[in-house]
Chains A and B, each alone.
Chain A
Amino acid sequence: MHKLYPSQQPGEKIMLVVRESLFLLFVKFFLVLILIIAPSLIKLLFNILSIDFQISQEWSVILTLATQLYYLATLLALFLVFVLYYLNMNVVSDQRIVDIDQKGLLFREVSELNIESIEDVTTEIDGLFGNIFNYGTVFIQTAGTTERFEFENIPNPAKVSSLILKLYEAHGVQKK
Protein backbone atom coordinates (compact mmCIF):
# COMPACT_ATOMS: atom_id res chain seq x y z
CA MET A 1 0.00 0.00 0.00
CA HIS A 2 1.26 3.48 -0.89
CA LYS A 3 1.51 5.59 2.26
CA LEU A 4 0.05 9.09 2.21
CA TYR A 5 2.43 10.20 4.96
CA PRO A 6 5.45 8.51 6.58
CA SER A 7 3.88 7.50 9.90
CA GLN A 8 0.67 6.02 8.46
CA GLN A 9 -0.14 2.81 10.34
CA PRO A 10 -1.42 -0.31 8.51
CA GLY A 11 -4.82 -0.30 10.23
CA GLU A 12 -5.29 3.45 10.15
CA LYS A 13 -8.51 4.50 8.45
CA ILE A 14 -8.27 7.57 6.20
CA MET A 15 -11.47 9.56 6.68
CA LEU A 16 -10.78 12.53 4.44
CA VAL A 17 -8.17 13.79 1.99
CA VAL A 18 -8.74 17.41 1.14
CA ARG A 19 -6.91 19.81 -1.15
CA GLU A 20 -7.23 23.48 -1.97
CA SER A 21 -10.55 24.54 -3.51
CA LEU A 22 -10.88 23.73 -7.24
CA PHE A 23 -12.03 27.30 -7.84
CA LEU A 24 -8.59 28.62 -6.81
CA LEU A 25 -6.89 26.04 -9.05
CA PHE A 26 -9.00 27.22 -12.00
CA VAL A 27 -8.10 30.85 -11.23
CA LYS A 28 -4.39 29.96 -11.36
CA PHE A 29 -4.90 27.93 -14.56
CA PHE A 30 -6.79 30.84 -16.08
CA LEU A 31 -3.91 33.25 -15.32
CA VAL A 32 -1.39 30.89 -16.95
CA LEU A 33 -3.75 30.43 -19.94
CA ILE A 34 -3.84 34.22 -20.38
CA LEU A 35 -0.01 34.13 -20.51
CA ILE A 36 -0.20 31.31 -23.09
CA ILE A 37 -2.52 33.18 -25.44
CA ALA A 38 -0.83 36.58 -24.88
CA PRO A 39 1.61 36.31 -27.86
CA SER A 40 -1.23 35.40 -30.24
CA LEU A 41 -3.31 38.30 -28.89
CA ILE A 42 -0.42 40.73 -29.37
CA LYS A 43 0.08 39.45 -32.94
CA LEU A 44 -3.65 39.85 -33.62
CA LEU A 45 -3.57 43.37 -32.21
CA PHE A 46 -0.65 44.28 -34.51
CA ASN A 47 -2.58 42.88 -37.48
CA ILE A 48 -5.71 44.87 -36.57
CA LEU A 49 -3.71 48.07 -36.14
CA SER A 50 -1.79 47.25 -39.36
CA ILE A 51 1.55 47.62 -37.64
CA ASP A 52 4.20 45.86 -39.67
CA PHE A 53 7.73 45.57 -38.32
CA GLN A 54 10.41 45.30 -40.95
CA ILE A 55 12.78 42.72 -39.51
CA SER A 56 15.36 40.57 -41.23
CA GLN A 57 14.97 36.82 -41.79
CA GLU A 58 17.45 35.98 -39.00
CA TRP A 59 15.70 38.15 -36.44
CA SER A 60 12.39 36.63 -37.44
CA VAL A 61 13.86 33.17 -36.67
CA ILE A 62 15.11 34.41 -33.29
CA LEU A 63 11.69 35.88 -32.52
CA THR A 64 10.02 32.54 -33.36
CA LEU A 65 12.54 30.78 -31.13
CA ALA A 66 11.92 33.17 -28.26
CA THR A 67 8.16 32.61 -28.61
CA GLN A 68 8.76 28.84 -28.58
CA LEU A 69 10.81 29.09 -25.38
CA TYR A 70 8.13 31.31 -23.87
CA TYR A 71 5.57 28.56 -24.54
CA LEU A 72 7.98 26.05 -22.99
CA ALA A 73 8.20 28.17 -19.83
CA THR A 74 4.42 28.69 -19.59
CA LEU A 75 3.88 24.95 -20.09
CA LEU A 76 6.27 24.33 -17.20
CA ALA A 77 4.38 26.93 -15.10
CA LEU A 78 1.07 25.18 -15.86
CA PHE A 79 2.56 21.84 -14.82
CA LEU A 80 4.04 23.32 -11.63
CA VAL A 81 0.72 24.90 -10.65
CA PHE A 82 -0.90 21.47 -10.90
CA VAL A 83 1.96 19.65 -9.11
CA LEU A 84 1.86 22.06 -6.16
CA TYR A 85 -1.95 21.79 -6.00
CA TYR A 86 -1.82 17.99 -6.09
CA LEU A 87 0.94 17.59 -3.50
CA ASN A 88 -0.49 20.11 -1.04
CA MET A 89 -3.02 18.15 0.95
CA ASN A 90 -4.61 17.69 4.32
CA VAL A 91 -5.45 14.27 5.63
CA VAL A 92 -7.84 13.36 8.42
CA SER A 93 -7.61 9.80 9.68
CA ASP A 94 -9.28 8.15 12.65
CA GLN A 95 -6.10 8.67 14.70
CA ARG A 96 -4.45 11.86 13.50
CA ILE A 97 -4.59 14.96 11.37
CA VAL A 98 -1.82 15.50 8.84
CA ASP A 99 -1.03 18.76 7.09
CA ILE A 100 1.21 18.23 4.04
CA ASP A 101 2.56 21.52 2.71
CA GLN A 102 4.46 21.47 -0.55
CA LYS A 103 5.65 25.07 -0.27
CA GLY A 104 8.00 24.87 -3.22
CA LEU A 105 9.27 22.20 -5.56
CA LEU A 106 11.97 21.13 -3.12
CA PHE A 107 10.37 22.28 0.13
CA ARG A 108 7.96 19.82 1.71
CA GLU A 109 6.63 20.07 5.23
CA VAL A 110 4.57 17.33 6.90
CA SER A 111 2.97 18.14 10.27
CA GLU A 112 1.01 15.59 12.27
CA LEU A 113 -1.31 15.98 15.18
CA ASN A 114 -2.97 13.32 17.33
CA ILE A 115 -6.75 13.64 17.44
CA GLU A 116 -6.67 13.61 21.25
CA SER A 117 -4.52 16.76 21.49
CA ILE A 118 -7.09 18.97 19.73
CA GLU A 119 -8.19 21.95 21.81
CA ASP A 120 -10.54 23.73 19.45
CA VAL A 121 -11.45 23.93 15.77
CA THR A 122 -12.21 27.24 14.05
CA THR A 123 -13.68 27.74 10.59
CA GLU A 124 -13.12 30.91 8.61
CA ILE A 125 -14.78 31.79 5.32
CA ASP A 126 -13.43 35.02 3.92
CA GLY A 127 -14.31 37.18 0.92
CA LEU A 128 -16.99 37.20 -1.77
CA PHE A 129 -15.66 34.21 -3.70
CA GLY A 130 -15.13 32.26 -0.48
CA ASN A 131 -18.80 32.70 0.34
CA ILE A 132 -20.03 32.00 -3.19
CA PHE A 133 -17.88 28.92 -3.78
CA ASN A 134 -17.92 27.82 -0.13
CA TYR A 135 -14.20 27.54 0.57
CA GLY A 136 -12.25 28.72 3.58
CA THR A 137 -9.69 27.90 6.22
CA VAL A 138 -9.99 25.52 9.16
CA PHE A 139 -7.75 26.27 12.14
CA ILE A 140 -7.04 23.50 14.60
CA GLN A 141 -5.66 24.63 17.95
CA THR A 142 -3.56 22.14 19.86
CA ALA A 143 -2.71 21.93 23.54
CA GLY A 144 0.40 23.74 24.72
CA THR A 145 2.45 26.18 22.74
CA THR A 146 2.34 24.24 19.50
CA GLU A 147 1.46 26.30 16.47
CA ARG A 148 -2.11 25.87 15.30
CA PHE A 149 -2.80 23.74 12.25
CA GLU A 150 -4.21 25.36 9.15
CA PHE A 151 -6.15 23.72 6.35
CA GLU A 152 -6.00 26.62 3.92
CA ASN A 153 -8.69 27.40 1.33
CA ILE A 154 -10.38 24.02 1.47
CA PRO A 155 -13.89 23.37 0.14
CA ASN A 156 -16.69 22.89 2.71
CA PRO A 157 -14.69 24.00 5.78
CA ALA A 158 -17.71 23.63 8.08
CA LYS A 159 -18.13 19.96 7.13
CA VAL A 160 -14.43 19.29 7.67
CA SER A 161 -14.42 20.90 11.12
CA SER A 162 -17.55 18.97 12.11
CA LEU A 163 -15.89 15.71 10.98
CA ILE A 164 -12.79 16.52 13.03
CA LEU A 165 -14.90 17.23 16.12
CA LYS A 166 -16.88 14.00 15.60
CA LEU A 167 -13.63 12.04 15.39
CA TYR A 168 -12.36 13.77 18.54
CA GLU A 169 -15.52 12.85 20.41
CA ALA A 170 -15.40 9.26 19.14
CA HIS A 171 -11.77 9.02 20.20
CA GLY A 172 -12.66 10.33 23.69
CA VAL A 173 -15.48 7.77 24.06
CA GLN A 174 -13.15 4.96 22.97
CA LYS A 175 -10.56 5.98 25.61
CA LYS A 176 -13.15 5.95 28.41
Chain B
Amino acid sequence: MDNLFVLITNIIFAIIIFGVGIFSIISIYIFIKYGRSRRITSAISLVYFVLFLLLSFSSLLILQKL
Protein backbone atom coordinates (compact mmCIF):
# COMPACT_ATOMS: atom_id res chain seq x y z
CA MET B 1 0.00 0.00 0.00
CA ASP B 2 1.03 3.57 -0.63
CA ASN B 3 3.46 4.85 2.03
CA LEU B 4 1.64 8.15 2.42
CA PHE B 5 -1.64 6.34 3.04
CA VAL B 6 -0.03 4.15 5.72
CA LEU B 7 1.52 7.22 7.35
CA ILE B 8 -1.80 9.11 7.42
CA THR B 9 -3.63 6.05 8.82
CA ASN B 10 -0.95 5.69 11.52
CA ILE B 11 -1.21 9.35 12.49
CA ILE B 12 -5.04 9.28 12.62
CA PHE B 13 -5.14 6.16 14.80
CA ALA B 14 -2.31 7.42 17.03
CA ILE B 15 -4.21 10.70 17.60
CA ILE B 16 -7.44 8.81 18.46
CA ILE B 17 -5.67 6.43 20.89
CA PHE B 18 -3.82 9.38 22.45
CA GLY B 19 -7.09 11.33 22.82
CA VAL B 20 -8.95 8.44 24.41
CA GLY B 21 -5.93 7.85 26.68
CA ILE B 22 -5.84 11.47 27.90
CA PHE B 23 -9.62 11.39 28.47
CA SER B 24 -9.26 8.12 30.40
CA ILE B 25 -6.52 9.52 32.63
CA ILE B 26 -8.62 12.61 33.41
CA SER B 27 -11.65 10.43 34.27
CA ILE B 28 -9.57 8.15 36.51
CA TYR B 29 -8.08 11.21 38.25
CA ILE B 30 -11.52 12.76 38.89
CA PHE B 31 -12.95 9.38 39.95
CA ILE B 32 -10.22 8.71 42.53
CA LYS B 33 -10.07 12.35 43.72
CA TYR B 34 -13.78 12.74 44.49
CA GLY B 35 -14.72 9.10 45.12
CA ARG B 36 -15.82 8.16 48.61
CA SER B 37 -13.71 5.02 48.96
CA ARG B 38 -10.13 5.13 47.65
CA ARG B 39 -9.97 1.31 47.57
CA ILE B 40 -13.07 0.83 45.40
CA THR B 41 -12.27 3.68 43.01
CA SER B 42 -8.65 2.53 42.60
CA ALA B 43 -9.71 -1.08 41.95
CA ILE B 44 -12.31 -0.11 39.32
CA SER B 45 -9.88 2.34 37.69
CA LEU B 46 -7.20 -0.35 37.56
CA VAL B 47 -9.55 -2.82 35.83
CA TYR B 48 -10.57 -0.14 33.34
CA PHE B 49 -6.97 0.91 32.68
CA VAL B 50 -5.81 -2.67 32.08
CA LEU B 51 -8.65 -3.17 29.55
CA PHE B 52 -7.76 0.15 27.94
CA LEU B 53 -4.08 -0.84 27.66
CA LEU B 54 -4.97 -4.27 26.19
CA LEU B 55 -7.19 -2.71 23.53
CA SER B 56 -4.64 0.02 22.75
CA PHE B 57 -1.74 -2.42 22.39
CA SER B 58 -3.74 -4.81 20.23
CA SER B 59 -4.68 -1.79 18.04
CA LEU B 60 -0.98 -0.92 17.74
CA LEU B 61 -0.16 -4.53 16.81
CA ILE B 62 -2.85 -4.50 14.12
CA LEU B 63 -1.51 -1.15 12.91
CA GLN B 64 1.87 -2.77 12.30
CA LYS B 65 0.29 -5.14 9.78
CA LEU B 66 -0.39 -2.25 7.44
Bound-complex Cα distance A75 to B21 (A): 12
Q: Are B62 and A75 in contact (CB under 8 A)?
A: no
Number of interface residues of B (CB under 8 A): 30
Known A2-B36, A83-B30, A106-B30; contact A72-B66, beta-carbon cutoff 8 A: no
Say yes or no for A46: interface residue by CB 8 A criterion: no
Nearest to A80 among chain B residues (CB) is: B27
In whole Å, how far is B60's beta carbon from the nearest beta carbon of chain A?
Answer: 10
Say yes or no for B16: interface residue by CB 8 A criterion: yes
Q: Are B35 and A76 in contact (CB under 8 A)?
A: no
Known A79-B48, A102-B34, A106-B26; contact A68-B58, beta-carbon cutoff 8 A: yes
Q: Could you give, for residues 36-62 of chain B, a 1 whenever the CB lies within 8 Å of some chain A CB and a 0 otherwise?
A: 111001001000100110011011001
Mark A residues whose CB is within 8 Å of B.
2, 4, 17, 58, 61-62, 64-65, 68-69, 71-73, 75-76, 79-80, 82-83, 86-87, 89, 102, 105-106, 108
Mark B residues whose CB is within 8 Å of A.
1, 9, 13, 16-17, 20, 23-24, 26-27, 30-31, 34-38, 41, 44, 48, 51-52, 55-56, 58-59, 62-63, 65-66
